[in-house]
Structures are given as C-alpha cells and as structure tokens.
Chains A and B, each alone.
Chain A
Amino acid sequence: MVAATAVGLAGVCGLVAGPTEPIVHPVVRVAALDADSSNASQSLVGQMRTSLSAWLYMRADLYLHNGVELRTLSQQEIQDGRVAVGSSDHLEASDASSVTVIPSAENDYRGVFGDIERACSTYKPMEGHGHQRPTQALPLFRLMTMADPQFIAGWTMGSSILAGDHAKSSTAKALAYLKDGLRQNLRCIELWSAIGILYAANEKDYIAARDYLNIARGLGQRTSHLSQPESDALRETYRWLALIANEIDTPFDRIRIAREGLEIFPDDPLLSRLG
C-alpha cells in the first residue's frame, strides 16, 4: 500500500509538473531516461519516476502472463537448441525467444525443491501460451505514463493494447492516448510513427497517416544516432509510407520512398520488394 501511495504520488506529480524541456539533448537516448535538469534532487526524482515506470512495465508483462515469469533464452541455450515457449496469440514478439524463469522438471536439477517450487508458485508449462485479457493491464500503462511521460514504450505498448480491443471506439481511444503522449514528446519518432500507422492500418485514412509518418521520417533524417526502438520505428515508417504511396500516389513515389528507406535499411526485405 505504501508502494501504491508512491505510485499515486508519482502520478500526481507527473500531472501537476506538466511538460518539461530537456536542457541537454543527448544524441542517443538510453532507455527513455532523459536528463531533464542539472539539479540533483530533480534528477533523482526523475530517475525515481523512470524506475517506477519501468517497474510497472515489468508488472504489466507479468499480468499478461498471469504471474508466470519468463526470461529470454541465453546465447548458450540457443546454441544448445533449447526451444522457446512461443505464444498462441503473438501478442508479444519477445515470447518467441523466452522460457519460464522457474525451469521445467526436465531442466531442473533441484529435485524435490524444484517440484515444490513448481507446485506452490505461479508456474505452468507455457508452450504456445495465451495471454490474459490485455485490457486488465491498461491501468498500469496509464499509471506508468503518468509517472514518467517520457517513457515511450508505455505509450506505444498501451496504445497497441487499446487498439487491439475489438470495441468500436478502440482505435479512437488508442489515437487519443498516443496523441496525449505526443504532446509531451514532440520529437519522438516512435509516437509520430505509431499514430501514422494506426491511421493507415485501422482507419484507412492514408492522408492523415502520411502526414504523421512524414514527420517521423523527417525526425529520423535529422537524427544522427538512432536508438534501437527509434530505428525500428523509422524502418516501419518507411515501409508504411511506401505502402501508402502504392495506394494513393504514383509507383514512382513508392519507389522513391522505398529507395530512400533502403539507404538507411539496406537489408529490409519489404522495402527491397517495394523499391
């Protein structure tokens, strides 16, 4: 409950504080942690907010798996040919390379201790597993973005979950959520890109989609060092821009966009086909 209060207070602080402008602009953003101030106490509070939102993100993942903890396979395990659990609904791409943290009986050397742990903790075989209704985790995404509005993964993953709900208004809610995030992260490639993709994929509004995606593309071109999430978002941006050009523009435009994308992502198979 104390932690609940901390979450609450951090959320309220996030609301009251409003947007802050970074005074330094590092070329590479490390895991969404920005230096917002040179003041030590503000920096500490900022780090607390970042840690809190990262912790909430981990909890949200745990909720999706109903408490079963997963971990990524080590390089050694991949070389040994150990099979990942995979998922039946492909909600999370990371499941394709994950196994349960508590080992299965055949991979556990602990004997009776292992049996007891499997019987008394949240363990079950997760091969081809499904997920809990993602909407259950939605309040956590709202909390984590309140605690740290610059936690981009919270905005993008939360919007994916909102958009994945089959209700009529789901896309509108997801767009509103993303635009809320965009107001606080105007230079964020991922958010511009995600909004554009939502317009294109769910609303079939290619004109609006192109506007958002072009801003993401411009930001990508002006950024010399892209983080992995930014790079992934830029790659998606080029793919969707090329697909949209195929729908509403000329083949020449499609080829031009795809070739521009190929200059940055020369190994991309989709862009190669479109260009």
Chain B
Amino acid sequence: MKFRIYFTLARGVVLESVRRKDLWVVAILGLVVLATASTIGFFGSSGLEVFIKDLSATVLGLFATVVATVVSCRVIPDEVKNRTLYPLLARPISRLDFIIGKWLGAVLVTWIGFALLLITTSIALAGFHVPFEWIMLQYVFLKLLGLALICSIGICLSTLLTPPAAVTLTFISTYGVAMVSRGLSLGYAHASPLGQWTSKAISALLPQTQLFDISGRAVYVGWQLVPLWVVGALTLYCIVYSGAMLTMSFLRMQKKAL
C-alpha cells in the first residue's frame, strides 16, 4: 500500500519535471555535448584519451549534481508555494510518506537526467574509440548512490531554508566537504585535544559525497576495481545518511505549521 503512495508521489515529481522541461533541458544539453564533442577531433584524439575521459567524467558529475540539487531543493517548497500540499495531506498520506515519495521522485528525475547524459557521453567516448572498462560500471553505480545522497541533503535543507539558500548549501556540502577534509587533515597533528575531537566530529557529521565519485579510477590507466567491501560500506553509508536526512526533514515538517 505504501509503495503505491510512494510511486504516485514520485511519478508526480517526474511528470512535474517533464512539464517544467527540466529533463528536456538535460536531453538538449546531452545533444549539445554530443554535437560539440566532435570539435576535439580538430586536435585529433590520439594521446588525448585520458583527457577526454577526464573531461567527460567531470562534466557528467557536475551536470548530474546540478540536476540533483535543483530538483531536490525545489520539490517540497513548490508544493507549499502552489498550495498543492494541502489536498495531498488531506488524503491518507502521512508527512513521512510525503517526504519519502518526494525524495524518491527527486532521485528518479536525477537518475533519468544522469542516464540521458551518460548515454550521450558514452556515444561521444565511443566516437573517440575510448574502450569500455568494468570500473565504469562501478563508477555509475556509486554515482547513482551519491546522487541519491545529495537529493536527501537537498530535501532536508529545503525544509529548513529558502530554496536558493538550500541549493547553495547543498552545493557547498557536495563540493566543499573534500576541501574541509583536507584542511582538517593539515591542521589535525598540531590541534589541541579539543580541536582534534572537533575535527573528528566534523568529519563524521559532514556528508562524505566525494567518496561516491570514483571517476579518477575510471579515467586514469591501470587502476583496479574498487573492493567489494568498499562498495558495500558506501551503500550502507548512503542508506544510513539519507535515512538520517529524511528523518530530520520529517521532524521539521512535523513542527511546521502549514
């Protein structure tokens, strides 16, 4: 029964995204990518395989993150703004169901957008005779998990902040964590015991989204597949962290006067 609710809510998000032409933009962007990729043929692709893979992974990751952030930070505020939330909650749909359904919808839209970009990028890579490697499948799987995690962060922040602020903070939490982590690593050895404890706490609390991006291994030459225990640990982390984010969203929604 619950799955039917989730499916209906998620389907609504996808249809709304199609209506707002989000996915069309992604599809057109993909076609532009495909069309313009041929310009690199001007230089000849011999010796540039790593460079082409590197650029593809960078662009793919960036666009997919943009889609995940924008879609997830918008779904709930839009329902409140358009007053479509009230008829929804008047039905036998709890606030938790509503959040889970919206999250699933945002994840679905992001994954569809990612798939569209992936297809066009794969065609472009095939055009440059870049061979397929198994680690690319691991890259896609972990990227999908990472995007789901970003969606949960976006949903959570959108219940606390205005949509623009939520988008900004989601971006910062996606791309800034690695930088913060490096900074803390540099200062850790000379920090006071309290400082060291704080560093550990910050590290544990911040979303480790950068761990889901194994594009480096997929791009450069001769790297082995990621060990299965790592894939399992990241899957578990995604479930636990996304669950925590959605729980926080639910608690916030519970307190929110609609």
Contact = CB atoms under 8 A, between A and B. Distances in A.
The answer to whether A and B interact is: yes
A8 B39 contact: yes
Contacts of A250: none
Nearest to B224: A119
Given A8-B39, A113-B203, A135-B47, A67 B216 contact: yes
A116 interface: yes
Contacts of A142: 43
B48 A120 contact: no
B234 A59 contact: no
Contacts of B184: 109
Nearest to A12: B42
Given A2-B32, A139-B47, A122 B199 contact: no
A-side interface mostly: helix
Q: Which of B40, B56, B214 has the most CB of A within 10 A?
A: B40
B185 interface: yes
B211 interface: yes
A24 interface: no
A78 B121 CA distance: 44
B50 A101 contact: no
A1 B234 contact: no
B185 A122 contact: no
Given A66-B221, A120-B226, A122-B223, A4 B37 contact: yes
A139 B48 contact: yes
Interface in B222-257: 222-223, 226-227, 230, 233-234
Contacts of B52: 4
A8 B58 contact: no
B23 interface: no
A5 B37 contact: yes
Interface stretch (B69-77, B105-113, B186-194): B186-194
Contact of B43 (A107, A117, A139): A139
B51 interface: yes
A122 B217 contact: yes
A41 B202 CA distance: 43
Interface in A221-253: none
Contact of A113 (B48, B208, B226): B208
A140 B42 contact: no
A136 B59 contact: no
Contacts of B42: 8, 11-12
Given A2-B32, A76-B190, A112 B43 contact: no
Interface string B176-214: 000001101110111000001001100110001011001
Contact of B220 (A12, A116, A122): A122
A171 B249 CA distance: 64
Interface residues of B, number: 52
Nearest to A8: B39
A89 interface: no
Contacts of B169: none
A110 B184 CA distance: 10
A120 B214 contact: yes
Contacts of A267: none
A1 B56 contact: yes
Contacts of B54: 59
B234 A120 contact: yes
Nearest to A80: B189
A2 B62 CA distance: 11
B47 A138 contact: yes
Contact of A122 (B121, B216, B227): B216
A74 interface: yes
Contacts of A5: 36-37, 39-40
A59 B55 CA distance: 10
Contacts of B203: 109-110, 113
Interface in A96-128: 101, 103, 107-110, 112-113, 116-117, 119-122
Interface in B145-189: 181-182, 184-186, 188-189
Contacts of A109: 184-185, 188, 196, 199-200, 203
Interface in A62-80: 63, 66-67, 74, 76, 80
A119 to B, nearest CB: 5
B219 interface: yes
A101 B210 CA distance: 14
Q: Which of A1, A117, A119 has the most CB of B within 10 A?
A: A1
Given A1-B36, A108-B185, A136-B47, A66 B226 contact: no
A154 to B, nearest CB: 15
B176 to A, nearest CB: 16
In the A-B complex, list the 7 residue pairs whose CB atoms are closest, starting with the nearest.
A67-B220, A122-B216, A5-B36, A1-B37, A1-B33, A8-B39, A119-B230
Given A1-B36, A9-B39, A120-B230, 8 more contacts: A3-B59, A4-B36, A8-B42, A80-B189, A107-B189, A121-B216, A122-B216, A143-B43
